[in-house]
Structure 1
Amino acid sequence: MHKTTLLLLGGAIAAPAIAAPAGTVTITIPRLSVAEYHKPYLAVWLEPVGGGPPRTLAVWYDLKKRGNDPGTKWLADLRAWWRKGGRSMTMSADGVSGATRAPGQYTIPLPADVKPGQYVLNVEAARETGGRELVSVPLAAGARTTGKTELGTVAISAH
């Protein structure tokens, strides 16, 4: 049972702060019927609705790229994430970065230490010789959205 408290600020009623639900994000990477398929690079991050620093939850990239071309070189293809804070991260990031994933459904836990507030969850995918896609969904239990090409359903579940 949730208890809601309204705050009176300067004579106006302010909405209560909303905390992130304890739960998970489920991301579906669809199976695409293309001649040359590469697993997508993927970034998942939270952004406060009113602005503020983003928080990266996951980055999937080619950890074992061969030759003089480390997989980190292509992280900039995740353009929105890269501009929001990816370029300042050091890879590999403990507990955040991991290998690319094949088509399927994957679950990422939401952090328990998110400060109260309203957030948007962003998921961005980019594939070599493929497309790029960014989807956003409000951080709320039961929220979901579906991508059109590189991403399938992205859903938030509470525990």
Structure 2
Amino acid sequence: MKSKVLPAVPLLAAGTIASPAGAATVSVTIPRVAVAEYHKPYVAGWLEPADGGAARTVFVWYDIKKGGNEPGTKWLVDLRSWWRKGGRSLRLPADGVSGATRAPGTYQIPLPANLPAGQYVLKVEAARESGGRELVSVPITIPGKGGSSSGKAELGAVTIR
């Protein structure tokens, strides 16, 4: 599987957030799915305090250039967990957060550098037209240790370093 790595610089269209050297980075793998009609998934990643509280969207990849009477944001509701946790109130496109859908591969996304110390859960959700939906959760401690988890179909490995 071919991997793509996004640099840790401000890229509005790529959906990354600027981050200083040494900050935590999330690695998200979108696996190649063997189906007749493949559509790139919509993917959202957000942080929640481990003991509950407001979510902070880290990235959301969707069809930002959808034309006609069907804006790409129409299908973001299919990312149900993210949508309920705060996606519906996020004004899109959001600078430094929104980006285009991604082809299969591995992508690096820096976490926000200004996170207060504490326990968090990173959640990454993917939904694909004519496909499935999947949610992966990874606990993280700031500062300190990350972790990893893996999806079974729509998402591959999700790792925090």
Interval of TM-score (by shorter of Structure 1 and Structure 2): 0.7 to 0.9
Deviation at 1:66? 2.2
Question: Does residue 79 of structure 1 match 2:83?
Answer: no
Please tell me the residue identity of whatever aligns with 2:120: Y
Deviation at 1:33? 0.3
Q: Aligned residue for 1:47?
A: 48
Secondary structure at the aligned position of 2:118 is classed as coil
TM (normalized to structure 1)?
0.84
Deviation at 1:22? 2.4
Question: Does residue 145 of structure 1 match 2:152?
Answer: no
Question: Does residue 129 of structure 1 match 2:130?
Answer: yes
User: Take 2:94 and 2:146, find their aligned partners in 1: how far apart are those partners?
Assistant: 29
Q: Which residues in structure 2 correspond to 1:57-136 (within 5 Å)?
A: 57-136=58-137
TM (normalized to structure 2)?
0.83
Structure 2 unmatched runs, 5+:
1-21
Q: Which 4+ residue blocks in structure 1 deviate beyond 3 angstroms?
A: none
User: Take 2:118 and 2:82, find their aligned partners in 1: how far apart are those partners?
Assistant: 21
Q: Aligned residue for 1:7?
A: none
Match of 1:156 among 131, 156, 160: 160
Q: Aligned residue for 2:10?
A: none
Deviation at 1:142? 4.4
Number of matched pairs: 137
- Deviation string 1:21-70 (CA, Å, 9 cap, x unpaired) is 82200000000100110000000000001111000000000011121000
Deviation at 1:117? 1.3
The percentage of counterpart residues that share the same residue type is 69
Q: Would the aligned equivalents of 2:49 and 2:120 in 1 still touch at CA under 8 Å?
A: yes
Secondary structure at the aligned position of 2:116 is classed as coil
Deviation at 1:110? 1.0
Secondary structure at the aligned position of 2:36 is classed as coil
Q: Would the aligned equivalents of 2:139 and 2:146 in 1 still touch at CA under 8 Å?
A: no
User: Take 1:93 and 1:125, find their aligned partners in 2: how far apart are those partners?
Assistant: 18
